[in-house]
């Protein structure tokens, strides 16, 4: 071989070696930065999720490294082992709320001689322990209207749970059990999840406890789930098997971190048929932190109106097609006292980023706004006639101000005290249940609705009451419902039976 050919061959080998080294170095750098998620926006959202974790004193050292088998496949065993200890079986009892009214009571004042028989119903679901002192995230629909909630741990210990608060819009509820040193799952960064990434669904499908299924993330920021029935439309879509009973359970990454709360399935039969949906922890964690601190969810709004493409599609398909091509969210109009308008945003602007996190559709806009509270300041980027402009926006609540709202104890709003009715008195009055109003203050809902001292309550929402605790349970479950109305059946001695509706949303 001549000298020139030898030099050319060495040059080719050197180029190949350098190319391989550069490729490997580049791959290593990308991997260390979380692939495509090493941006400032991803780091910022991770800090937000971290702040929710801090609300529950989570120890961030309690996570795993990504494990693989000797054959190079993902190894879920450690993540699964840790997750099943942090996921609980939730059991609920509810009373059927049939609005039965005996018409004879109105005309003849017979009292409670033929009471309706309420039916007790038992429901099951899952929940995730998120703190060592016993806070648990589950779905609102798992505990909605429940008069009693209990949870069973993986070690078969059983506890009565208190519903700290619930939120119908996100379908998230926060429970509390008493104790210390419970096993719990730490929050992961749901924003950093990538389509195609392996995840585990942990829960209790069909009452089968401690069940783990695996799948991949099929899509992110999925909207129009359950016919758009939920206010939050920014779900993680997965293909892990999720069935009835999984609701409120954990969606876990291969590091054993909680990245979502399993909430819904796509099925025509009611059982798993290919896809399931989870509320990302970036939303669920914030809701839980709000419920713990304030008793209610703090929602920040921009105060904008956006086009409803589905409605437009029925009347003007061409315009709907044009709107669907927009990468961002078009500002069609503003609500009263709009935060966006006050900051300088105009009709026709296209929202494309919040704090440098891209906004490509309405689901992504919701996903970002759900991280903030009224009074928070954000940097909003818009496309105005092809030019990008930035605005500093102070977010407001839906009433147009920046105040933080706190829930009040529903029982205290009634403004009344109660005492039991003796069995002898019940017999004389011809009733089988009853609690007497011992006092009613001027500012309470009872006094405002005509219920005063001496009034004997037989039933509330068609459920017999015999103690203040009975009333408190019914009031608590009603306060978690959308209508928040108590139907009180009772009477004054020697008076006819009255049916009085009390709206708990009124002060």
Q: What is the pLDDT of residues 58-99, one digit of tens each?
A: 987 777 777 777 776 778 999 999 899 999 999 998 876 454
What is the tens place of the pLDDT at every residue in 293-332? 988 899 999 999 999 887 888 889 999 999 989 999 999 9
Neighbours of 49 (CB within 10 A): 24
> Both tokens of residue 433?
């249940």
The ranges assigned to domains in the chain are 77-294, 304-394, 410-503
* Residue 423 appears among annotated catalytic residues: no
Measured in whole angstroms, how far is the alpha carbon of residue 283 from the centre of its chain? 7
The one catalytic residue in 141, 167, 170, 191 is 141
> Both tokens of residue 110?
């017979």
Read off the pLDDT band of 228 (50, 70, 90).
Answer: low
Neighbours of 130 (CB within 10 A): 30
pLDDT at 28 over 60: no
CA atoms within 13 A on the CB side of 173: 29
Please enumerate in sequence order all residues whose Cβ is within 8 A of that of 96, keeping only pairs 6 or more positions apart, or say none.
118, 119, 120, 121
Closest to 462 measured CA to CA, from 105, 143, 90: 105
> What residue spans of 305-390 are helical by DSSP H?
309-315, 317-324, 339-343, 362-369
For the CA atoms of the chain, what is the radius of gyration? 28
* CATH class label, 77-294: mainly beta
Tell me what the pLDDT averaged over the chain comes to. 84
CB-based contact 123:94 (threshold 8 Å): yes
Rounded to whole angstroms, the Cα distance separating 235 from 223 reads: 7
The pLDDT of 361-373, averaged and rounded, is 89
* CATH class label, 304-394: mainly beta
Please enumerate in sequence order all residues whose Cβ is within 8 A of that of 132, keeping only pairs 6 or more positions apart, or say none.
57, 180, 181, 182, 184
- The CATH number of 410-503 is 2.30.42.10
Q: Dmax over Cα atoms in the chain, in whole Å?
A: 122
Please enumerate in sequence order all residues whose Cβ is within 8 A of that of 351, keeping only pairs 6 or more positions apart, or say none.
304, 328, 329, 330, 331, 345, 359, 365, 380, 381, 382
pLDDT at 235 over 80: yes
Please enumerate in sequence order all residues whose Cβ is within 8 A of that of 501, keeping only pairs 6 or more positions apart, or say none.
449, 485, 486, 487, 488
SS (H, E, C) 62-108: CCCCCCECCCCCECCHHHHHHHHHHEEEEEEEEECCCCCCCHHHHHH
pLDDT at 36 over 50: no
What is the tens place of the pLDDT at every residue in 170-189? 999 999 999 999 999 999 99
> What residue spans of 97-183 are helical by DSSP H?
103-108, 140-143
Do 410-503 and 77-294 fall under one CATH topology? no
DSSP result, 395-454: -B-TTSS-PPP----HHHHH-EEEEEPPHHHHHHHT-S--EEEEEE-TTSHHHHTT--TT
Tokens 């003007």 locate to 316
Q: What percent of the chain clears pLDDT 70, i.e. is strictly above it?
A: 83
* Residue 305 appears among annotated catalytic residues: no
Query: Exposed e or buried b for every residue in 96-120, given b needs 16+ CB within 10 A?
Result: ebeeeebeebeeeeebbeebbebee
Please enumerate in sequence order all residues whose Cβ is within 8 A of that of 468, keeping only pairs 6 or more positions apart, or say none.
417, 418, 435
pLDDT of residue 6: 52
Rounded to whole angstroms, the Cα distance separating 71 from 268 reads: 38
Better pLDDT: 433 or 476:
433
What is the tens place of the pLDDT at every residue in 429-471? 999 999 999 999 988 999 999 999 999 999 998 889 999 888 9
Tokens 């099925």 locate to 267
pLDDT of residue 96: 63
Neighbours of 10 (CB within 10 A): 10
Rounded to whole angstroms, the Cα distance separating 62 from 41 reads: 25
The one catalytic residue in 46, 131, 170, 247 is 247
> Both tokens of residue 295?
């008793």
Rounded to whole angstroms, the Cα distance separating 38 from 416 reads: 57
pTM: 0.75
* Residue 390 appears among annotated catalytic residues: no
The one catalytic residue in 105, 167, 171, 349 is 171
């Amino acid at each position: 071989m001549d000298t020139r050919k030898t030099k050319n061959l060495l040059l080719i080998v050197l180029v190949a070696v350098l190319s391989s080294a550069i490729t490997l170095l580049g791959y290593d750098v990308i991997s260390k930065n979380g692939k495509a998620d090493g941006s400032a926006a991803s780091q910022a959202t991770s800090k937000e999720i971290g702040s929710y974790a801090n609300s529950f004193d989570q120890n961030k050292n309690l996570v795993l490294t990504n494990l693989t088998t000797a054959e190079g496949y993902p190894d879920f065993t450690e993540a699964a082992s840790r997750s099943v200890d942090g996921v609980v079986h939730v059991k609920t009892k509810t009373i059927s709320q049939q609005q039965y009214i005996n018409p004879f009571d109105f005309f003849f004042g017979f009292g409670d001689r033929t009471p309706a028989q309420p039916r007790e119903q038992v429901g099951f679901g899952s929940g995730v322990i998120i703190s060592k002192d016993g806070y648990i995230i589950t779905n609102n629909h798992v505990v909605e209207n429940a008069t009693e909630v209990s949870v069973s741990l993986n070690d078969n210990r059983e506890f009565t749970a208190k519903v700290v608060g619930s939120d119908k819009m996100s379908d998230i509820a926060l429970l509390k059990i008493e104790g210390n040193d419970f096993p719990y799952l730490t929050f992961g960064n749901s924003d950093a999840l990538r389509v195609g990434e392996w995840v585990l669904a942990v829960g209790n499908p069909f009452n089968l406890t401690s069940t783990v299924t695996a799948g991949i993330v099929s899509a992110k920021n999925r909207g129009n789930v359950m016919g758009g029935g939920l206010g939050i439309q920014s779900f993680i879509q997965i293909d892990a098997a999720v069935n009835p009973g999984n609701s409120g359970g954990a969606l876990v990454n291969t590091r054993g971190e909680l990245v979502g709360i399993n909430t819904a399935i796509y099925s025509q039969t009611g059982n798993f048929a290919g896809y399931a949906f989870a509320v990302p922890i970036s939303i669920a964690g914030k809701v839980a932190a709000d419920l713990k601190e304030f008793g209610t969810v703090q929602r920040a709004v921009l105060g904008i109106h956006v086009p409803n493409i589905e409605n437009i599609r029925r009347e003007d398909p061409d315009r709907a097609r044009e709107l669907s091509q927009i990468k961002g969210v078009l500002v069609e109009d503003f609500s009263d006292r709009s935060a966006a308008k006050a900051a300088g945003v105009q009709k026709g602007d296209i929202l494309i980023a919040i704090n440098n996190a891209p906004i490509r559709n309405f689901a992504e806009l919701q996903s970002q706004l759900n991280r903030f509270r009224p009074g928070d300041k954000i940097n909003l980027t818009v496309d105005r006639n092809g030019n990008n402009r930035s605005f500093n926006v102070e977010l407001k609540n839906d009433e147009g101000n920046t105040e933080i709202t706190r829930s009040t104890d529903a029982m205290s709003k009634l403004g009344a005290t109660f005492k039991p009715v003796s069995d002898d008195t019940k017999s004389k009055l011809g009733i089988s249940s009853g609690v007497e109003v011992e006092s009613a203050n001027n500012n309470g809902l009872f006094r405002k609705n005509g219920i005063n001292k001496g009034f004997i309550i037989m039933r509330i929402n068609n459920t017999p009451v015999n103690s203040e605790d009975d009333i408190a349970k019914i009031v608590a479950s009603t306060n978690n419902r959308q209508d928040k109305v108590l139907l009180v059946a009772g009477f004054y001695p020697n008076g006819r039976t009255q049916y009085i509706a009390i709206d708990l949303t009124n002060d």
